[in-house]
Chain A
């Protein structure tokens, strides 16, 4: 059974159809790409899936359950997490503290214990700290654990985004432009990380991306949006040779190849 299925998803802002009747399916443990020229509605689609926006029409089904319009923080408990196009961090916290707080949703912390520092709470804190360390090591940020998130260079900020996204142990991770603004080396590192997310952690990933090379290298299936509509879907190979897609991307495609 597919992990994520969206059907007829539509989002209308006043007169503008940002997302128009989009349907797509994501299989478990797949890495699925969502591409398209600027303004195609990719991030809006993510917003619709992750509960940031309510769709005007259509449904989102996650692991057999209808999650249309469910707010983002409740989706996390179900195993759906997303990251953001513009790095969202807790800038004044250290890298470590960022991930620690992100582990929040799995803490089962009793706040009362939190108020008064019971022994059980202290033990839990130790466990979480351990877990945070593991995540940072997986992502490659362990040696920067005590740096302030806001001071990190851009490439590492995006790694931190992934670390934070991993903390709640998602089954499906929506990555919004994970390699935006990264140089070649960082792009490769990020793509490697995405691959190991699936291979080593069993996470299904959906990426929104502009960078064709990155997408091609890592995605099993790709859906292409233009002006809010789905114009093509298939394997990475099929999609990049599709004339409609090439036409939609004229110019952008050339830059990335």
Chain B
């Protein structure tokens, strides 16, 4: 256990030291994208423990982004206030949406959340005032203090992203190991049995849904004030599916799954930056082959590989 902790600490120190050695704005940007995607993937993973996938996460990210954009740009409120408010806003909307979505059987949950994502897009796109319509919102101010966060220097954003992602991962990890998480794992194993011992399955699923929406809201807020521009074209169904792919390809077994999935699958499209639409083709194929060949994801396959090696050694 201690060796794991040392490794983790070393890894975090390494991450913190990156900007000292890497000066390319582009590479730092990719790292920041990775941080964002890891946040989204881990929160999707928590919900996914209960075998639920929300196909409308893009909607919650967008809500968080829009909240933050409007608060910081139109109302001049500090980003540091807007950030938690964005999370709360997404969570507040997630409550009724989740409640309704959970009234229907598994597949229909997916579909309702999918539709929700589209509706968020639709609403923000339709009302140009105050949401900017299809043109979106530009010139979203970076966080204060303004001498630190300028659009030109990625480094402060890097550290902000690093703090956010480490916090998110830590909290989600603690949750998954807590009593609440234990119940989630039990629900995964057998909802019927869980119900029969007094667990309000729907209630727990709802809480997990709200938590994942909250994190999505936070991520959205960070995105808005980092990139400075948001629009309905960004947060579409493909965006939600991207998040899903991180988790599916990474594996469900542990937190390492979504993290590795997000890292790998943020880097790959940057490598193949050729065209946007081919990206969809590749993603589609990755999804298909992942599901067929590696239903447990990368971490699952690695785990099985390790088991096989251990067995051969004995």
Contacts and interface: CB of A to CB of B under 8 A. Distances in A.
- Best-surrounded residue of B183, B186, B201 (most CB of chain A within 10 A): B186
B196 A121 contact: no
Interface residues of A, number: 33
User: Which among A76, A89, A101, A104 has the highest number of chain B CB atoms within 10 Å?
Assistant: A101
A84 B196 contact: yes
A114 B199 CA distance: 16
B193 interface: yes
Nearest to B186: A101
9 contacts: A74-B198, A90-B193, A93-B185, A101-B186, A107-B179, A111-B179, A115-B171, A115-B180, A121-B179
Interface in B58-76: none
Given A115-B174, A116-B174, A168 B179 contact: no
A89 B196 CA distance: 11
A235 B192 CA distance: 33
Interface in B176-207: 178-180, 182-183, 185-186, 189-190, 192-201
B189 A90 contact: yes
Contacts of A114: 178-180
A72 B196 CA distance: 6
A111 B193 contact: no
B169 to A, nearest CB: 14
B189 A168 contact: no
Contacts, number: 82
A107 B190 CA distance: 20
B160 interface: no
Contact of B189 (A83, A91, A115): A91
A116 B171 CA distance: 9
A82 B196 contact: yes
Given A81-B196, A101-B182, A73 B190 contact: no
Contacts of B189: 89-93
A111 B174 CA distance: 11
Interface of B: 171, 174-175, 178-180, 182-183, 185-186, 189-190, 192-201
Contacts of A83: 196
A111 B196 CA distance: 20
A167 B193 contact: no
A105 B199 contact: yes
A88 B199 CA distance: 15
The 8 closest A-B pairs by CB, nearest first: A105-B198, A76-B198, A114-B179, A114-B178, A90-B189, A88-B193, A102-B197, A101-B186
Contact of B198 (A77, A84, A91, A92): A77
B285 to A, nearest CB: 31
B197 A104 contact: yes
A236 interface: no
A104 B180 contact: no
A90 B198 contact: no
